[in-house]
Every structure is written in C-alpha cells, then in structure tokens.
Structure 1
C-alpha cells in the first residue's frame, strides 16, 4: 500500500505542481507582452490560458498533500523533522500561490494594476513559490535521517 500511495503522491506532484510552476513563471513576461500590444488578441489569450492553468492545476494540487499525509502515515514518519518542515513549506507555498500569485494574476487580467512594476512583483512572488516547492522536493528526496541510504 505504501508504494501505491507514494506513487500517486509523486505522480500528483509532477502532474499538478509542475504545470503551476511553469505557467506561473511564464505569466509575468506574457502579461508584459500583452500590455505592450493591447490590440493583439493572441497575447491576451495566452495570459488568460496561463492563469487558467494555474487555477485549475492549483486545485488539482490539493491531491499532493492528501496522498503525502497518507504515505507518511503508512511509513510511520509523521513526526520526523524533515516531514514537518516539508509540511510547513508546502503550506507556505500554497499560501503564496493563493494569496499572492493568483490574485495578482487576476488583477492583471482584469486591467487592475497593469504596470511593469506589478508584473515584476508577481514574478518575485512566483519565484518564492517555485523556490518553496524546490525546497520541499529536495527534502522529499534527501529525507534527513533516512535509513534507505539515499
């Protein structure tokens, strides 16, 4: 059962979180291009598509911690420090995405703060989100104190 849960957890992370990190990273430069060419419907549609990818895959991404908790429970590592840190970083990444990245994407789409500075701030928050996920990924691979030799 552990191998199944771990497989679903890893696959969900790849399929759900990967597209969010890529689409969110592509959004600020795409938004700048769309602002520079307001009459280009293709540029606007690209930005809308990237935002939709971020929203949909962020929702699907809820599966990752659900299966992560199930996997950790069957492995008996729920109290391990590396997992607790991973959980905290995951929660922080989710908070950054939901509170800072997605609302700023929406504001840019709705014609709110359409300045270059707004896209730079969005890029910064997106970078923080991506770095948090990178740290979680490293912790999941290294697993300090692991007896697997990895």
Structure 2
C-alpha cells in the first residue's frame, strides 16, 4: 500500500504542482506582452489560459498533500521534523497561491482588458516599464518565485529526508 500511495503522491506532485509552477512563472511576462499589444487577441488568450491552468491545477494539487500524508502514516514518519517542515511549507505555498498569486493574476487580467471568463473589458493602453501595471507584474513574479522556491524546498526535503533513517 505504501508504494501505491507514494507513486500516486509523486505523480500528483509532478502532474499538478508542476503545471502551476510553470504557468504561474510564465504569467507575468505574458501579461506584460498582452498589455503592450491590446490588439493581439492571441496574447490575451495565452494569459487567460495560463491563469486557468493555475486555477485548475491549484485545486487538483490538493491531492498531493493528501496522498503524501497517507504515505507518511504508512511509513510511520508523521512526527519527523523533515515532514513537519514540509507540511508547513506546503501550507504556506498553498496559502500564497490562493491568497496572493491567483487574485493578482485575476486583477492583472482585468487590467489588460480581459476577464477570467474570456469576455472583453476596456482595452488598456500599452504599459511603460515604470507603470503601476509593470510593477504589479514584477511583484507577481516575485511572489511566484517564492511559491516556486517553497515547492523546490519541499521537494528537496522529500528526497533528502534529513534525520530520517531512510534518508540519503
């Protein structure tokens, strides 16, 4: 049973968390491009698609810690420090995604002249590098980088398992 749960946990992490980290990282530059070229419907569609990917896979990603906890119970490591730290970092990453990254993506979508559902809103003028829009995309990129760094740290902890008798 442990091997099955571990396989589902690892596959879920690759297939759910991976797309969120990539799409979230691609969103800020894609949003800047869409804002700079409001006539380019393809650029707006890319930004909407990236946001949709982040939203959907954020929900699907809930299975990662669920199956991870099942693995931890089966392995008897629930109280190990490396696992507790991993669970805390996972919770922080999820909170950051849900409370900061996704809402800021939605706000930027509205600002470039497109809504989450793909309906057109007011067309925005091209952004200059010191505009509030540009600064907002830079801040979003920073938050996304922190989100990705949290997941990278959790991944390293899952592989190394410091202090674990089965660790490297």
If the TM-score is normalised by the length of the shorter chain, which range does it land in? over 0.9
CA contact (8 A) 1:31 1:119 kept: yes
What root-mean-square deviation, in Å, do the aligned CA atoms of Structure 1 and Structure 2 show?
1.3
Partner of 1:74: 74
CA contact (8 A) 1:35 1:114 kept: no
User: Matched residues in 2 for 1:133 and 1:102: separation?
Assistant: 16
Deviation at 1:147, TM superposition (A): 2.2
Structure 1 residues 18-64: Cα deviation after superposition (integer angstroms, max 9, x where no partner): 00000000000000000100110000000000000000000000000
CA contact (8 A) 1:78 1:84 kept: yes
CA 1:51–1:149 in 2, change beyond 3 Å: closer, same or farther?
A: closer
CA contact (8 A) 2:161 2:167 kept: no
Deviation at 1:148, TM superposition (A): 2.8
CA 1:63–1:149 in 2, change beyond 3 Å: closer, same or farther?
A: closer
Larger radius of gyration: 2
Number of residue pairs aligned between Structure 1 and Structure 2: 150
User: Matched residues in 2 for 1:81 and 1:140: separation?
Assistant: 11
CA contact (8 A) 1:86 1:139 kept: yes
Q: Aligned to 2:166, what secondary structure does the other structure show?
A: coil
CA contact (8 A) 1:26 1:50 kept: yes
1:91-110 equivalences in 2 (<5 Å): 91-110=91-110
User: Matched residues in 2 for 1:106 and 1:80: separation?
Assistant: 38
Q: Aligned to 2:73, what secondary structure does the other structure show?
A: helix
Deviation at 1:74, TM superposition (A): 0.5
> Could you tell me which of 134, 143, 154 is aligned with 1:136?
154
After the TM superposition, which segments of 4 or more aligned residues of structure 1 sit over 4 Å from their partners? Answer: none
Structure 1 residues 36-95: Cα deviation after superposition (integer angstroms, max 9, x where no partner): 001100000000000000000000000000001111001000000000000000000001
Q: Which has the higher helix share?
A: 1
